[in-house]
Structure 1
Amino acid sequence: MPSAAPDDDEITGSWSDWATDRTLRLLIGGALKLPYERRVPLFGKISRRVIAPLAGYTRRSRDNLARVWPDMPEAERRAIAERVSENAGRVLIENYSNPEFTRRAAHFDCSGPGLEVIEQTRAAGRPVIVVSGHFGNYEAARACLNARGYGMGGLYRPMSNAYFNSHYVRTMEAVGTPMFPLGKSGMKGMLRHLSRGGATMLLNDLHVKKGRRLRFMGLPAMTAISAAELAVKYDAPLVPAWATRIDGGLDYRVEVDAPIPHGDPEQMTQAFNDALEARITADPEQWFWVHRRWKVGARRG
């Protein structure tokens, strides 16, 4: 599949976006000169100490943690938010570190009842939809599954900074294709892919304005139900998969849950929310609390 990323001279954006992109390119380019074992922890520290505070991500993580767990001590929220910022930096540089990252992912421990379902469904030439969230490194799960030959593409939401998006898309394509941008044309492409028995992975933990009001982490959250709708429409198993960083290191444990039973798409999506919530509650620093998952006014109850 041709790259979905345009050349820089085709991009339009603000001077601020251009400057931000050039700064990140310098940091990423410098890190990539280091051995993998050194670059990943180093970029995590750069993210925690420089990138995340400047971008406001650390503060947003603390605010989200306070919204979900108002009784948590402030010191604990700060500590989690800093580890979230560090994990985000590690994920970013891991995703830029191909082919090293995908080679490493081929040896990640991968288990769970959904693994056999994916294997059997792919062998039968039927479509598969894997659903996950911004937990650990979601691309580690896709890379691990693709190393087994499952041909897992994906649907992605383009970043608001078009300059950065132009090369970030290529990191996703390095893990597996086809990749489809969120939007009318991308959705049409993904539907064709599924109708031909393709496999795709979707992340379903971002705020969606036209989604359904479901529960997530004890709060109302607008959530897309399209993954469940597509699973029902194409008779595809909806399989949750997670990649959890092991002991703050370089490797991941990939767990593939049993498929969510087909039924009402809202109930199916709520089941996914509940599964992700359980993982976040057990290991909160692995989730990307930097997203605006809940809008102002969301309260428990």
Structure 2
Amino acid sequence: MQRLLYILAYPILWLLSILPMRILYIKSTALYFLVYYIVGYRKKVVKDNLALVFPEKSLKERDKIARQFFKHLCDIIVETIKALTISEKEIRKRFVVTNAEILDEYYRKNRSILLMAGHYGNWEWSGILNKLMDFEAHAVYKPLDSKQFDALVKKTREHFGGTIVSNKKIVGVLFRKWKKGIKTLTYILSDQTPKLGAFKHRDTFMDIDVPMFTGTEELAKKLDFAVLYLKVEKVKRGYYTATFVPLVDNPKEYPDFQITRMFFDALEAQIREKPEYYLWSHKRWKLRKMD
């Protein structure tokens, strides 16, 4: 069944991906009205999350954020489809890295990097980063159940080079390359929700007590990798900037969980400034500590 669905879906996705962005954004607007006003996809999840995180805001303010978020989510959907065939020239124009030169210092020091990021702005177009660095590039992802769609995700995210690695295999991959002296930059979406009983630490995210993934921090300390934050900002529809923000150069010098805290502080600052660009449809606070 999954294979049949893929066979039917792939030609449609490919044909959509070759359309100009202006046409895709028209479709995004239509999709927004369908998703928000008719289907109501995860509307309750989004509004519950916003009420939990922003109790000080009025219902009218939170509803406005919700509508803006769904518009942005639909843009992300068409931008992800576009990633199948988008040219390097076009994506460089639309996803601009503001300070790629900051990586030169790490190259000179022969230091590998773990690049922490959140589900903010556009995380799907970050594959262009592979064209801007001298190190071997990796991105961590959670494989899909469908082998066909999983292969499509990998193909899309490897469009500009780099290697997509399963979250269950990344430690082994990086450890082997570390032993061989191969320097790497690894992109990790670090605001995921751990499974119940599969975490070591709790802390606050947007002032809500939740379990935290600490694997990135632990890996950085074990292999002595520098840690950076990728700050992605939406400039206007279809245009983003990405900035490398150094977090720590010597991770072993930091107390346990402080690096994780630094990442969430950076992400929270962006969310508080422009909350509509965060992925509110994700059940990030489902394992929160109840009063």
Q: Deviations over 1:170-217 (max 9, x none)?
A: 21111432111122x343224334552111110101111223211110
After TM superposition, list the pairs within 5 Å mapping 1:219-298 onto structure 2: 219-247=208-236, 249-260=237-248, 262=251, 263-295=254-286, 298=289
Q: SS in structure 1 opposite 2:176?
A: helix
* Structure 1 gap segments, 5+ residues each: 1-14
Alpha carbons 1:238, 1:259 under 8 Å: kept: yes
> Given residue 65 of structure 1, which amino acid in structure 2 is its aligned partner?
L
Question: Once superposed, what is the RMSD of the aligned Cα atoms?
Answer: 2.9
8 A contact 1:242–1:255 mirrored in 2: yes
In 1, Cα distance between the equivalents of 2:60 and 2:8? 31
Change (3 A) 1:245 1:19: farther
Over 3 Å counting, the alpha-carbon distance change for 1:252 and 1:213 in structure 2 is same
The 5 A counterparts of 1:144-183 are 145-150=129-134, 151-159=136-144, 163-183=148-168
Cα deviation for residue 43 of structure 1 reads 4.2
% identical aligned pairs: 21
Which residue identity lines up with residue 234 of structure 2 in the other structure? R
Q: 1:176 to 1:205 in 2, by over 3 A?
A: farther
Could you give the per-residue CA deviations for residues 21-73 of structure 1, whole angstroms, max 9, x where no partner exists? 6786576345324212321x234324423356747333211111111112322
State the one-letter code of the partner of 1:104: E
C-alpha spacing 1:48/1:284, structure 2 compared with 1 (3 Å): same
**Where does 1:80-91 land on structure 2 (aligned, <5 Å)?**
80-91=65-76
Task: Specify every segment of 5 or more residues in structure 2 that has no aligned partner in the other structure, as ranges.
Answer: none
* Gap change, CA 1:230 and 1:277, over 3 Å in 2: same
Partner of 1:131: 116
1:214 partner SS? strand
The one-letter code of the counterpart of 1:280 is I
Length-normalised TM-score, structure 1: 0.80
Given that residues 139 and 175 in structure 1 are in contact (C-alpha distance below 8 angstroms), is that contact kept between their aligned partners in structure 2? no
Amino acid at match of 1:260: V
TM-score, structure 2 as length reference: 0.82
The 3 A distance-change label for structure 1 pair 191 and 93 is: farther
Check 1:154–1:25 CA distance in 2 against 1; reply closer, same or farther (3 A cut): same
Q: Which of 97, 105, 109 is 1:110 aligned to?
A: 97
Aligned residue for 1:8? none
Residue in 2 that maps onto 1:72: 57
Query: Greater strand share, 1 or 2?
Result: 2
Query: Per the alignment, do residues 23 and 266 of structure 1 end up closer, same or farther by CA in structure 2, a change over 3 Å counting?
Result: farther
Query: Are residues 1:206 and 2:195 paired?
Result: no
Compared CA separation, residues 159 and 81, structure 1 to 2 (3 A): farther
CA distance in 2, matches of 1:50, 1:205: 28
Matched residue type, 1:230: L
